[in-house]
């Protein structure tokens, strides 16, 4: 199976965008080798600005550049881009609808050994709570690349959440990708798995294994958390009567919460939320941590059995 | 004024060597972590823990202890090596650095490890804690001192200068900030990324007392600590000129050693240079 980190796909796609569009300007905060904006910096040094270790100023400068007609892509680790700079994102980007794309890498616990201080498990919640903000969480390299191109074509502030480790490539390079339209990867009647990011591949695997035991699941890649594809959620709630959500993020405020809000308002069915259960991360290897916090294919299968009993 | 005699000097120099050996071993065993910035701070941290500061491993919560805040939290290995040598936890635990379940987290965690005064890792926040601790000491009429170590790249964070402004305004003379001035951050030299220089002038402008020293000369470090104790009415900043990766020739002044751990072969090479 082919693998690629979404941050690697982002770095390559950013250099493509730079080639295609003269108005693209890229900012980073002393992490360009890790966020992969270094590819762009090398190709277009005059349109790359290193803000230094100053994430708040990076977002403030991005607002000024965007107000002057630039299309700005600003990168750091999710902890610092969404966390450290939050109020500046809120007032300088979202409140103003400026055309800045925050492209945050090293999101979630798969940051690994750096530990809990660097593992952002609340960034989706923060960004989703902001009016005007688009929130994208691609599941693989192919969709990360297309998400970036789609974000260029969609004026306004956006948050692109990217990961550190390599993840299985699920999609062909020429897939159909539309912001705000979820992708139904598999159709089954017993329950629906809705995942984002690294969890989509695990949902698919769990569905395949359970299918051998006669349990037929639907699998949805909810790559856009905002604007949320409510139509898809309501239809799957109606068709399957139970939903399990899976995200590398707190169960508070992220994908699971968004799905619950939708089904509660429109078509109540039982929802099982998988994610970090209101705890911070810690040091460990990425895969050890995914095991420790129960974000595995096996755990999805286990939890589906519990969920089916409540139907 | 504490006397800097030959024995004291020899002791801190030996401790600095031990810290460097421990740093290399720990990082080699963990397979990831920040080597360059741990090594550049080894002499400063050795002088703090083995000469300057009053701390008691048997009584880590002692109210009159001096406090050290590692504002550049990614330098955790040098802090852990010093705390282990001081007896805050068994030396064997050093081998668990960055492993699942270890109290030795990738960045210092005050809720997991005895002797750690502040949970740091997000740059810029530690010095704010140190300012708060100096305020508390003054409120309680206590004479202990607060020490904090910053990276030079870390000085690019706006929060650092908010803290520096507050400490100058409040005349916090129990506070001492040390800058590990190694000239490198992650993306390159400070001067090629986004330089915070001139550093000493900035602290002076915020009403701090400033000393500039060679951060690998233990006598100079100890003299600066002595001098800082005499200053009343203002916080002191020590701008310590250092070499990132100091002690391992193949790591010295090389930006790629910021966040890379040595492999087996490199560990051996380092061991030859550092002794033991
Ligand atoms: C707020 C914040 N932004 C970014 C980082 C990522 N980071 C870790 S170390 C580092 C470079 C630090 O350079 P410097 O302060 O000079 O440290 P040293 O050279 O002593 O290692 C960066 C950008 C971080 N830990 N915290
Ligand atoms: Mg430095």
B32-69 pLDDT tens trace = 999 999 999 999 999 999 999 999 999 999 999 999 99
Q: What are phi and psi of A207, to 5 degrees?
A: -65, -40
Q: Which of B120, B186, B194 sits opposite A51 (nearest CB)?
A: B194
Asked whether residue A105 carries a pLDDT value surpassing 80, the answer given is: yes
Of B109, B158, B187, the CB nearest to A56: B158
CATH code of domain A183-310: 3.40.50.920
Which alpha helices (H) appear in chain B, and where do they start and end? 6-30, 36-40, 42-47, 76-86, 125-139, 158-169, 190-193, 199-205, 218-230, 264-274
* A19: three-class secondary structure by DSSP: helix
Please check whether residue B121 is in contact with residue B108, taking contact to mean a CB–CB distance below 8 angstroms: yes
pLDDT tens digits, one per residue of B174-196: 999 999 999 999 999 999 999 99
Average pLDDT, chain B: 98
Q: Structure pTM?
A: 0.98
Q: What is A3-168's CATH number, 3.30.565.10, 3.30.230.10, 3.40.50.970, 3.20.20.70?
A: 3.40.50.970
Q: Which pLDDT score is estimated for A73?
A: 99
Q: Where does the pLDDT of residue B240 fall: very low under 50, low under 70, confident under 90, or very high at 90 and above? A: very high
Q: Among residues A76, A73, A89, which one has the least CA distance to residue A24? A: A73
Digit-coded pLDDT (tens) for A250-306: 999 999 999 999 999 999 999 999 999 999 999 999 999 999 999 999 999 999 999
User: Angle at Cα A110 formed by Cα A106 and Cα A113, nearest 5°?
Assistant: 95
| A308: Cβ contacts below 8 Å, ≥ 6 apart | A190, A191, A215, A242
pLDDT band for position B1 (cuts 50, 70, 90): confident
In a domain, B29, yes or no: yes
Report which DSSP code applies to A140.
S
pLDDT > 90 in chain A, percent: 99
Report yes or no: B126 at the A interface, CB cutoff 8 Å.
no
Q: What distance in Å separates the CA atoms of residue B261 and residue B257, rounded to the nearest whole number?
A: 8
3-class secondary structure per residue, B127-174: HHHHHHHHHHHHHCCCCCCEEEEEECHHHHCHHHHHHHHHHHHCCCCC
Which residues pair with residue A183 across a beta bridge? Answer: A221
Mean pLDDT of A75-98: 98
Q: What is the pLDDT, as a whole number, of residue A252?
A: 98
Burial of B241 (0-12, 13-18, 19+ CB in 10 A): middle
- Please compute the mean of the pLDDT values over residues B232-256 and round it to a whole number: 98
Ligand 1 neighbourhood includes B153 CB (under 6 angstroms):
yes
Nearest CA to ligand 1 atom 16: B153
User: What confidence category does residue A91 fall into, taking pLDDT thresholds of 50, 70 and 90?
Assistant: very high
Q: Residue B247 in 3-state DSSP?
A: coil
Alpha carbon distance A69, A62 (integer Å) = 11
Q: Is-cis flag, bond preceding A260, omega within 30? A: no
In short, whether B182's Cβ falls inside 6 Å of ligand 1 is yes
**Which pLDDT does position A61 carry in this prediction?**
98
CA distance A185 to A204: 8
Residue B1 in any domain: the answer is no
For residue B276, pLDDT over 80 is answered with no
Rounded to an integer, what distance in angstroms lies between the CA atom of residue B8 and that of residue B130? 27
Q: Identify which of B154, B73, B126, B75 has the alpha carbon closest to the alpha carbon of residue A30.
A: B154
Confirm or reject contact between B194 and chain A (CB < 8 A). yes
Domain boundaries, chain A: 3-168, 183-310
Q: Rounded to whole angstroms, how far apart are CA atoms B131 and B173?
A: 10
Q: Mean per-residue pLDDT for A115-138? A: 98
- CA–CA distance, A6 with A166 (Å, rounded to integer): 7
- pLDDT digits over B59-99, tens only? 999 999 999 999 999 999 999 999 999 999 999 999 999 99
**Measured distance CA(A85)–CA(A58) in Å, rounded:** 9
Give me the phi and psi of B177, to 5 degrees please.
Answer: -110, 135
Do the domains A183-310 and A3-168 match in fold?
Answer: yes
C-alpha separations of B268 from A147, B39, B43 in Å: 46, 16, 22
Kindly indicate the confidence band of residue B269, based on its pLDDT and cuts at 50, 70 and 90: very high
* Percentage of residues in chain B having pLDDT higher than 70: 100
Q: Which residues are CB-contacts of B100 (< 8 A; sequence separation ≥ 6)?
A: A282, A283, A284, A285, A288, A289, A292
pLDDT of residue A1: 82
Q: Please work out whether the CB of residue B186 comes within 6 Å of at least one atom of ligand 1.
A: yes
In the reported structure, the alpha carbon of residue B185 is separated from the centroid of ligand 1 by a whole-number distance in angstroms of: 7
Residues in chain B: 276
Contact (CB, 8 A) for B261 and B245: no
Distance A197 CA to ligand 2 centre (A): 34
**Ligand 1 and B246: CB distance under 6 A:** no
pLDDT confidence band for A143 (50 / 70 / 90): very high
Write the CATH number for B122. Answer: 3.40.50.970
- Residue A285, Cβ density class (10 Å: 0-12 exposed, 13-18 middle, ≥19 buried): middle
Question: What are A244's two structure tokens?
Answer: 């399990």
Q: Which domain holds residue B61?
A: 6-273
Is the ipTM of this structure higher than 0.85? yes
Number of structural domains in chain B = 1
Give the pairing of strands A71-77 and A166-168: unpaired
pLDDT at A190: 98
CA of A262 to the centre of ligand 2 (A): 48
pLDDT number for residue A311: 87
């Amino acid at each position: 199976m082919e693998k690629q980190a979404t941050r690697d796909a982002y770095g390559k796609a950013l250099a493509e965008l730079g080639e295609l569009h003269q108005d693209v300007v890229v900012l980073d905060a002393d992490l360009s080798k890790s966020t992969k904006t270094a590819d762009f910096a090398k190709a277009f040094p005059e349109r790359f600005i290193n803000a230094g270790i100053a994430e708040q100023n990076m977002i403030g400068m991005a607002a000024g550049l965007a107000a002057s007609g630039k299309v700005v892509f600003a990168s750091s680790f999710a902890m610092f881009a969404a966390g450290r700079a939050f109020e500046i994102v809120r007032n300088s980007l979202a409140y103003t609808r400026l055309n800045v794309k925050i492209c945050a890498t090293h999101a979630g616990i798969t940051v690994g050994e750096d530990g809990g201080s660097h593992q952002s498990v609340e960034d989706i919640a923060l960004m989703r709570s902001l009016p005007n903000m688009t929130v994208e969480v691609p599941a693989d390299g192919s969709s990360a690349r297309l998400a970036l191109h789609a974000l260029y074509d969609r004026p306004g502030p956006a948050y692109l959440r990217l990961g550190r480790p390599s993840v299985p490539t699920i999609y062909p390079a020429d897939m159909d990708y539309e912001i705000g339209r979820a992708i139904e990867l598999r159709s089954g009647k017993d329950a629906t798995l809705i995942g984002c990011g690294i969890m989509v591949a695990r949902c698919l695997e769990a569905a395949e294994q359970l299918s051998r035991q006669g349990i037929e699941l639907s699998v949805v890649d909810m790559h856009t958390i905002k604007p949320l594809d409510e139509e898809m959620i309501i239809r799957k709630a109606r068709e399957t009567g139970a939903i399990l959500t899976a995200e590398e993020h707190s169960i508070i405020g992220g994908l699971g919460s968004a799905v619950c809000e939708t089904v509660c308002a429109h078509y109540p069915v039982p929802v099982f939320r998988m994610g970090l259960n209101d705890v911070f991360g810690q040091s460990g290897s990425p895969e050890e941590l995914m095991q420790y916090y129960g974000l595995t294919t096996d755990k999805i299968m286990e939890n589906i059995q519990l969920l089916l009993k409540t139907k | 004024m504490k006397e800097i005699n030959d024995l004291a000097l020899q002791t801190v120099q030996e401790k600095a060597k031990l810290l460097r050996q421990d740093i290399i071993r720990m990082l080699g065993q963990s397979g990831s972590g920040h080597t360059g910035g741990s090594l550049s701070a080894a002499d400063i941290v050795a002088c703090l823990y083995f000469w300057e500061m009053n701390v008691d491993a048997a009584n880590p919560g002692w109210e009159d202890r001096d406090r050290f805040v590692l504002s550049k939290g990614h330098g955790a290995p040098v802090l852990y090596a010093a705390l282990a040598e001081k007896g805050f936890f068994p030396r064997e635990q050093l081998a668990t650095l960055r492993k699942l379940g270890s109290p030795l987290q990738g960045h210092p965690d005050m809720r997991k490890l005895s002797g750690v005064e502040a949970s740091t890792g997000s740059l810029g926040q530690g010095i704010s804690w140190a300012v708060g601790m100096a305020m508390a000491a003054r409120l309680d009429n206590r004479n202990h001192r607060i020490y904090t170590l910053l990276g030079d790249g870390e000085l690019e964070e706006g929060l650092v200068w908010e803290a520096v402004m507050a400490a100058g305004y409040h005349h916090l003379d129990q506070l001492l900030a040390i800058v590990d001035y190694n000239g490198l951050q992650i993306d390159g030299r400070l001067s090629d990324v986004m330089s915070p220089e001139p550093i000493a002038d900035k602290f002076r402008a915020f009403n701090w007392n400033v000393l500039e020293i060679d951060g690998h000369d233990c006598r100079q470090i100890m003299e600066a600590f002595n001098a800082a104790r005499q200053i009343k009415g203002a916080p002191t900043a020590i701008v310590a000129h250092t070499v990132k990766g100091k002690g391992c020739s193949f790591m010295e002044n090389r930006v790629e050693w910021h966040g890379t751990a040595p492999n087996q072969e490199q560990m051996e090479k380092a061991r030859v240079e550092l002794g033991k």
